[in-house]
Amino acid sequence: DEELSLVHDFQYIEVVKQAGHTDGDFPLAASYGLGTEDNPAFPNMHEATSLIVGGTLQAVDMVMSGQVRNAVNLAGGLHHGFRGRASGFCVYNDCSVAIAYLRKKYNARVLYIDTDAHHGDGVQWAFYDDPNVLTLSLHETGKYLFPGTGNFTERGDGQGYGYSVNIPLEAFTEDDSFLETYENILPTIARGFKPDIILTQNGCDAHAFDPLTHLSVSMKVYQEIPRLAKKMAEELCGGRIVATGGGGYDIWRVVPRAWALVWSEFSGQLLDRKIKIPEEWLERYQEESPVPLMPTLFDPIDMFPPIPRREEITIKNKKTVEKALLYCPKG
């Protein structure tokens, strides 16, 4: 509980414990965001969600101690959790706890990169006034999607002004515009900020198959995102980087492939774009899947028809990047 309390209120932690060990109604839970459709209470909730936080902290310690250059906790990435409230399928915010832990134990400057389709609101607000934590979130615009925040005008507060960077992407953004945006902004702010460690949230719900979001990227993006983040870590902070998972709601066609790519990039087991999914895996899970499983790791080039508004979307995303870069560190 000591590490959790770096970010979460004591009373909230106690309510999470009680909610996970209470049979029947627990009216108090609702005022803490628990017992809702997004965050239903379940047995041993505190124990299970604490383990996720512990996994990310273990990854942090291993990287900062020099045992490994990078580490991955795909169970993590629960970026919507707030100090005293659960939100968006997230109870405890392992990313925020890890950053607070890095600040307290190692006095580290932390660059947080969030490429989930949903804005990384919990992490942003936890460090909104801290100039030693730079949060970068590329997400679908809040005009159409939860949590409705993450406008480029959310830049930080006080000494932290300029250290919150948001790129709200237009709905139906495709690979080219997504990667152009990412590749233009990440090196610029990373070199300007000069982090001691990078923490990434690798939600894969920007994929065109995802049922909850409106972005239109292919599997190609989930190789390039960790590849550039790792490259920046090697250039700026001795390779120190911790990767977490995040959202992803096509659990059959997207999540296994996307996180296999994240894992491959950080483990150095680079995967060819022509690679096929093992037949044994397809045979094992096809009978459980409600949709046909993808036979290849990457999506075929012509799988998704071009979006008619492609040029307009690309132009709008470029303008968003220009505005987002106005006040943040640049190098």
Catalytic residues: 80
Helices and strands per DSSP (H, E), number in the chain: 9, 6
DSSP code for 200: E
- Give me the amino acid identity at 55: G
DSSP label of 32: G
> How would you list the strands of the sheet with 241-244, edge to edge?
70-73, 241-244, 197-201, 110-114, 133-140, 164-169
Question: 């590749």: which residue's tokens?
Answer: 183
Please compute, for residue 44, the number of CA atoms within 13 A of its CA located in the half-sphere on the CB side.
Answer: 4
Q: Report the SS3 class of residue 178.
A: helix
Give the rounded distance of the alpha carbon of 20 from its chain centre.
26
**What distance in Å separates the CA atoms of residue 221 and residue 131, rounded to the nearest whole number?**
29
For residue 163, the number of C-alpha atoms closer than 13 Å in the C-beta half-sphere is: 24
Which residue type does 243 have? A
